[in-house]
Structure 1
Amino acid sequence: MNGSSMDNHRKGLALTTIGGLALSFDVPLVRLGQGELWSTIFLRSTTTFVTTLVLWLLIRRFTSERPTLVPGRAGLFAGLCYGLSTMTFLAAVFHTATANVVFIVAFTPMFAGLLDWLVLKQRPSASTFIAMVVMVAGVGIIVSGGLAGGHVLGDVLAVGTALLLACAITVGHATRIDMGFVPLVATILPAVIGLWIVWSSGFSVEQPFWVVFDGAVMIPLAFWCLATGPKYLTGPEVGMFYLLETVLAPLWVWMIFTEVPSLRTLLGGTILVAALVGYSLWQMRRGERLTSQKL
């Protein structure tokens, strides 16, 4: 690896580390807002959407780039998936333990691999199949805890979030279109629905600063860094940094709210993280071997 490649690799590591760390604060900041579900969805989504438009206008004004907010029908469908996933994710946060949410949502890459197989006819490798089976077992353990603990709705919403995100990822993979702004612009959907509900039921967020800070700073920062990372790193390497939310979010919530995950959640989450780490490391080694064979 030459000096330029080393610099790009370090840049990618720095960006994805910042993005993963920023994303890990999403759930704690939402909970610090102490708001009602739809009021929180409305405030966070509206703030993210407005911030995105401002950033987009600044990019067009001061640079030569002309990024597209929603690239055609594929962008609209992906945006619909992202918008719905925002609502199911935040609803899951309100209906189950934080650890359950982030561990189950970590299944997204495997859902995406399954959809690639079913929709794009791209058969997963043997290592992907093995990782899927192990992760399904992990999710099953977590959801079984939800059945016992009475928060199965939140676990189901988390599974729905993972599936919706996987659908959006599959669309991007199939079309090869740049959709960097789509997840952020898609917040207009939950913002409008949230406004409609809040308009009749009333707005209730006791500490709005934390939700506004999350929507205006942490979410755009996280998605921009994690979307830029693949320019300098491989897909499996970037995927490793998404795990920062999976590992750190329950830690922050435990430190702030003293919410201790159940034994089933810890067991299932450990299986999920181990499978993801093992799969990512295997993919990175496989990529290095293929690269060395071409040289």
Structure 2
Amino acid sequence: MQTRTTGLLLSLAGVTLISPDVLVMRWVNLDHASVLMWRGLFMTLGFSAVVLYRYRLAALRAVKRAGRLGVASGFCFALNTTCYTEAIQRTSATATVMIIATAPVFAALISWLVLDERIDRKTAISMFVTLIGIAIIATDGGGQNDMLGNLFAVCTAIFLAINFTLARLKSNIDLTPGLMFGGMIAATFGLMLGGAPQADTEWTQLAAIALTGAILMPIGFTLLQIAPRYTSATEVSLFLLFEAVLGPVWVWLVLNEAPTRTTLVGSVIIISALLYYGAPASWGTRLRLRLGTSSR
């Protein structure tokens, strides 16, 4: 199998595995604190299993190598998880995942502020158009949209972007072990907010949270982390747009939650901006060459 094909298949598999998460978060009817506690606990187990599987006897060494940066990454992951679970319970599934999908654009802005990386014209245009899309979604008063929920979704994207930036600071270090600590911190946040095991909790809901938190999400994110070894990171990031579309489709098919027209307009604007941002320059060059050839 060709190397690029392997990378694309890994990306597709990873995105497909994580896409049902938004459906599960919309389906469970536990309070936010309890969802956060259980989700953090199961993610701790899941990412611990992934680290043990990947590093075997060297797992402890991998945790130590991640160091303080890994702990910082885990803390951002916990904040990201906290904001995400709050957002998905307050606003529509489409609004949540579309706003979170803007994380790469926020990462470019944070890299400019922290790492002094230059923002080119393409990135600036993408940021501006993305903000327009978010504003349209945020002002939608119909359906299940909620302004505070949209704000939590923006915070989720920002904390996710900070994690991207942390990964760039030490690209030679695997920060995945830090996600174990992130799960622990998220579970602690849930307990602090009043989450606790409840006798009347349906086992089907816990099973669904366990399925996504302990199995699908850790494996999916690991596949997405491995995929850039075989294909470009840009192509992998474009596959995340597929998850932003597929997640709300699951919610629509199972829970009959259809996005409003305003949210759809904002979503199309965001996807267009992210496609423009993620498209390699070589694509435009190839297109111009083909157009030039066909016009002769």
Shared fold, TM over 0.5: yes
User: Which residue among 97, 103, 115 is the counterpart of 1:102?
Assistant: 97
Asked if the contact 2:73/2:166 (under 8 Å) is kept, the reply is yes
Asked if the contact 2:38/2:187 (under 8 Å) is kept, the reply is yes
Whether 1:14 and 2:14 are equivalent positions in the alignment is no
Task: Please identify, of 271-280 and 89-98, the stretch whose mean Cα deviation from structure 2 is larger.
Answer: 271-280
Tell me the residue number matched to 2:223. Answer: 225
* Correspondence 1:103-118 to 2 at 5 A: 103-118=98-113
Asked if the contact 1:104/1:162 (under 8 Å) is kept, the reply is yes
SS of 2:63's partner is: coil
Whether 1:38 and 2:33 are equivalent positions in the alignment is yes
**Which amino acid in the other structure matches residue 53 of structure 1?**
S
CA distance in 2, matches of 1:274, 1:150: 22
User: Which residue among 208, 211, 230 is the counterpart of 2:209?
Assistant: 211
Cα RMSD for the two superposed structures: 2.6
Q: Compute the displacement of 1:202 (Å).
A: 4.6
CA distance in 2, matches of 1:108, 1:252: 22
**Which amino acid in the other structure matches residue 35 of structure 2?**
T
User: Which residue among 272, 275, 292 is the counterpart of 2:273?
Assistant: 275
* Correspondence 1:35-114 to 2 at 5 A: 35-61=30-56, 67-68=62-63, 71-114=66-109
Percent identity of equivalent pairs: 30
What is the TM-score of this pair, normalised by structure 1? 0.87
1:215-272, CA deviations, whole angstroms, 9 ceiling, x for partnerless residues? 1111111110111111111121011111122101111101111111111110000011
1:99-144, CA deviations, whole angstroms, 9 ceiling, x for partnerless residues? 0100100110000000111111111121111111111111110111
CA distance in 1, matches of 2:35, 2:199: 9
What is the TM-score of this pair, normalised by structure 2? 0.87
SS of 2:2's partner is: helix
**Which amino acid in the other structure matches residue 177 of structure 2?**
F
Whether 1:160 and 2:155 are equivalent positions in the alignment is yes
Long gaps (5+) in structure 2? 287-296
Asked if the contact 1:106/1:243 (under 8 Å) is kept, the reply is yes
Q: Compute the displacement of 1:277 (Å).
A: 1.5
Asked if the contact 1:81/1:168 (under 8 Å) is kept, the reply is yes
**Which amino acid in the other structure matches residue 11 of structure 2?**
T
Alpha-carbon distance change, 256 to 156 in structure 1, aligned in 2, over 3 angstroms: same
Tell me the residue number matched to 2:123. Answer: 128
